[in-house]
Amino acid sequence: MNCLFCSIIKGDIPSNKVYEDEWCYAFLDIAPQAPVHCLVVPKEHISSADVIGADNSQTVAKIFEAIPKIAKELGLANGYRIVSNIGDDGCQSVKHLHFHILGGKKLSENMA
Ligand code: AMP
């Protein structure tokens, strides 16, 4: 399967790594939409948050255990936003589950 984020996890495509453990890989977004913009992806290929279920929810739980560590590493002591886009209406451009971590300034109250 040709997946951009699987290639980044494997190291076939370079990235600015922020964090890695058994379950997930985090790296800086190539086109940041905030002063700090990081992506957290599962090492297991999961196409989007719309297919989270009993068979893969442990991976998702591990990502959410990692996120506070990643946020600390990124210096986001004042808060941040987590976003996951799903499908066409959600404007998901990469079909590998990922959580955007956005911060480094007071973010817009408008989310849509
Ligand atoms: P989404 O639109 O929610 O699917 O998010 C995909 C994100 O991946 C976008 O914010 C892109 O800027 C980001 N992106 C695409 N290619 C790369 C790359 N090679 N390295 C880092 N981030 C990337």
With CA atoms as reference, report the closest residue to 25 among 8, 37, 13: 8
Protein residue whose Cα sits closest to atom 17 of ligand 1: 30
What are the C-alpha distances in Å from 56 to residues 8, 9, 26, 78, 101? 21, 18, 18, 31, 21
How far is Cα 107 from Cα 93, in angstroms, rounded to an integer?
Answer: 22
Cβ of 86 closer than 6 Å to ligand 1, yes or no, is no
Q: For ligand 1, atom 12, name the residue with the nearest CA.
A: 31
| Nearest C-alpha neighbor of 20 from the set 45, 52, 42 | 42
Per-residue confidence (pLDDT) for residue 1, from 0 to 100: 80
Quick check: 62 pLDDT over 90? yes
- Closest atom of ligand 1 to 84 CA is 3
Q: What are 25-60's pLDDT values in tens digits?
A: 999 999 999 999 999 999 999 999 999 999 999 999
What share of the chain in percent tops pLDDT 70? 100
Q: What is the pLDDT of residues 4-29, one digit of tens each?
A: 999 999 999 999 999 999 999 999 99
Ligand 1 contact, 93 CB (< 6 A): yes
The token pair at 86 is 């799903």
Pairing relationship of beta strands 24-28 and 36-42 according to DSSP bridges: antiparallel
The residue among 29, 26, 48, 45 whose CA lies nearest residue 37 is: 29
Give the closest residue (by CA) to ligand 1 atom 18. Answer: 30
Q: Catalytic positions, please?
A: 98
pLDDT of 67: 98
